[in-house]
Structure 1
Amino acid sequence: MATLNIGDCLGAAWAQYRKNMLTHIVATVLVTAIGNLFFGLLTGPLLVGYMRMMRAEEAGQPVSFTDVFRGFDDFGPALLAALLAGILVAVGFCFCVLPGLLLLPLVPLALHEVADGEKDAIQAIKTAWGQLRPNLFMALICSFLISVFAGIGALLCGVGVLLTLPLAYLGAYHMARQMSGDPRVVIAL
C-alpha cells in the first residue's frame, strides 16, 4: 500500500476547498445536519456521497452539494462500514485513548473503499486496516492536524466550523486517497 505524505494531503485538501468553497460548505452542512438529525445513522452514506463528489471534482466534472446523496446508492455497505468501523474505534478508546486514536482513520478509509465501489462492508474495513497498519503513526498525525483545523473553527463562536469542517472532510478524503495508493490522486488543483 501507499505511504502517507501529510503535506500533500493537507495541501490537496486546501487546494480543492479553495477552488469550490461554497459547494464544500453547503455539502458539509448537509452531511452534518442530516447525519445528526438521524443520530449519525445516515452519516456514512452521506460521507460516501461526499467522497464521490470530491473525486468527481478532482476529475474536472461539474459537482453540486446535492451529490452527497449519491452515497445512498450504496446505503447498506456505507451504513454498515461506518457503524462497524465506528464500533472498532469506540472499543479502541475503551482500552485506552491511544488505540482509539490510532484506529480513528479507519472510518474514512473504510468509507473511501465503499465510495470506490466496494459492496462488502467487512471487506472495506479489512482493506482499510491493510492500508492503515503500515501508516499508523503518520495517519495519527494527519488525523490530529485535521482535527485541529476543524477545532479552530469551533473556537470562533462555533460559526467558524462552517469554514473549517469542510477542510477536515477534505483532509480525511485525501488521506484515504493517498493511503489507498489510488493513482488518480491529484495534489494541486
Structure 2
Amino acid sequence: MNHYIFLIMSQKVIYDGNPDAYNGLIESGYVFRMGDYINRGWEIFKQYPGGFIGFGFLSILLGGVGGMVPFVGVGVMYSLTAGYFIVADKIAKGESYEFGDFFKGFDHFLQLMIAGVLIQVFAGVGILLLIIPGIYLAVAYSMVVPLIVLGKLEFWPAMEVSRKVISRNWWMFFLFGIVTGILASLGIIALIIGILITLPLYYTMAYAAYEDIFAPVHEDAADMIGQIGEDAGDDPAH
C-alpha cells in the first residue's frame, strides 16, 4: 500500500505547479473555440451575477486606490483579476463558492506582483521599440494570472508557459482579445452599470478559454492519480 501512496504523491509533484506538464500542449497545439468561450463565459457569469457585479464594483475602487502605489498597485490589480478566475473555476467545477473567494487572489500576491511588473516592463519596452513586440507580449502573457492561481506555477514558468502555448495560436487569442475588449468597451459606453457587467464577462470568457486549453493538463493528471488509486484498491496486499 505504501508504494501506491508514494506513486500518488509523486504524480501530484510531477503535475502540480510543474511547467513541463504543458510540453505536450505546446508541441501538439490545440483548437481555439472562440464562440464556445463567449457562450461558456456568459453561462458562468449567469450562475453568480450579483457576486460578479459586486466584485466588479469593488475591484474598480480598490484598483484605483492601489494604483497609486508603485509595484504594490500592480500586485493589487493582478490579485483582483485573479479573483474572477478563482470564482469562475469553482462555478465551472460545481464547487461551493462565496463572495470572499474573489479575494483569494491575494494569497498569490507576491507571484502576481512580480509577474505583473515584468509583463508591463516587457510589453512597455516592446511597444516603445517597435509597437508590434509589445502587442505580441501583451497577448502572449494573457494567461499568466490563471496559470499562477489555478495552475500553481510560479511567476516565470507561468509567463513562459503562457507565451509558448498562446504563440501556437496567437492570432486567435489576439482576435479573441479584440472581441472581448469590444464587449467590455460597450459597458463603458453604457456608463457604470454596463462596465460592472462587461468587466466580469471579459474575465469569465477568458477563464473559459483557459478551462478548455490549459485545464485538461490538470484533468489528465487527476485521471492518472485516480487510476493509481484504483490499482491500489485492487492490490491483494491492500
Please give the range of the TM-score, normalised by the shorter of the 2 chains: 0.7 to 0.9
State the AA in 1 paired with 2:114.
L
Encode CA deviations 1:121-148: one digit per residue, 9 max, x unaligned: 1111011111111111000000000100
Name the counterpart of 2:111: 77
- Seen in structure 2, the aligned counterparts of structure 1 residues 103 and 109 have a Cα distance that, compared at 3 Å, is same
- Seen in structure 2, the aligned counterparts of structure 1 residues 49 and 143 have a Cα distance that, compared at 3 Å, is same
In 1, the alpha carbon distance for the partners of 2:135 and 2:101 equals 30
Moved more, 76-85 or 7-16: 76-85
Matched, 1:179 2:178: no
Shift of 1:103: 2.7
Note if contact 2:38-2:205 (Cα within 8 Å) is conserved in structure 1.
Answer: yes
Name the counterpart of 1:9: 37
State the AA in 2 paired with 1:19.
Q
Q: Show structure 1 runs of 5+ residues with no match.
A: none
RMSD, matched Cα? 2.1
| Aligned match for 2:150, one of 116, 120, 140 | 116
Note if contact 1:9-1:171 (Cα within 8 Å) is conserved in structure 2.
Answer: yes
In 2, the alpha carbon distance for the partners of 1:84 and 1:77 equals 11
The residue matched to 1:105 in structure 2 has which SS? helix
TM-score by length of 2: 0.70
Matched, 1:93 2:127: yes
In 2, the alpha carbon distance for the partners of 1:174 and 1:83 equals 25
In 2, the alpha carbon distance for the partners of 1:24 and 1:107 equals 24
Note if contact 1:53-1:67 (Cα within 8 Å) is conserved in structure 2.
Answer: yes
Larger radius of gyration: 2
Name the counterpart of 1:149: 183
TM-score by length of 1: 0.86
Matched, 1:24 2:58: no
Q: Show structure 2 runs of 5+ residues with no match.
A: 1-24, 68-72, 220-238
Structure 1 stretches (4+) deviating beyond 6 angstroms?
none
Shift of 1:179: 3.3
Equivalent pairs, count: 185
